[in-house]
Amino acid sequence: MRLLERLKDFENQYMFLRWVSGNEYGKLNHVGEDFVEFSVIDVDTMEYRETLFINAQLILEAAVGGADVSRIVAEVSSQLTFGE
């Protein structure tokens, strides 16, 4: 199975992504045929910092679990507001 096929299952989820020139925590917005759209989260403020379009051939690692990813999911979830 190719990496892009597997990442497609994790669209709209928070993860850690490492590619050739960097690594960040964020949200995987979209997986295309040759790229991924990834919104980087500033882990100090929990705000979206930027959106990256990364060539899929440059991705080295994707982590969808673990303590750090769980912390980010919890922080983002605590900031959600629900309709009254």
Q: Is residue 57 part of a domain?
A: yes
As a residue count, the chain comes to 84
The CA distance from 49 to 46, in Å, is: 9
Q: Is residue 18 part of a domain?
A: yes
Q: Is residue 58 part of a domain?
A: yes
Residue reference for tokens 């605590």: 78
Q: Is residue 84 part of a domain?
A: no
The CA distance from 5 to 32, in Å, is: 10
Residues 7-54: pLDDT tens digits?
999 999 999 999 999 999 999 999 999 999 999 998 888 889 999 999
Number of domains in the chain: 1
Q: Is residue 83 part of a domain?
A: no
What confidence score (pLDDT) does residue 84 get? Answer: 55
Q: What is the mean pLDDT of residues 47-72?
A: 89
Give the domain extent around 46.
Answer: 3-78
What confidence score (pLDDT) does residue 28 get? Answer: 96
CATH code for the domain in which residue 19 is found: 2.30.30.100
What confidence score (pLDDT) does residue 58 get? Answer: 95
What confidence score (pLDDT) does residue 72 get? Answer: 80
What confidence score (pLDDT) does residue 53 get? Answer: 97
Beta strands in the chain (DSSP E): 13-19, 22-31, 35-42, 47-55, 59-63
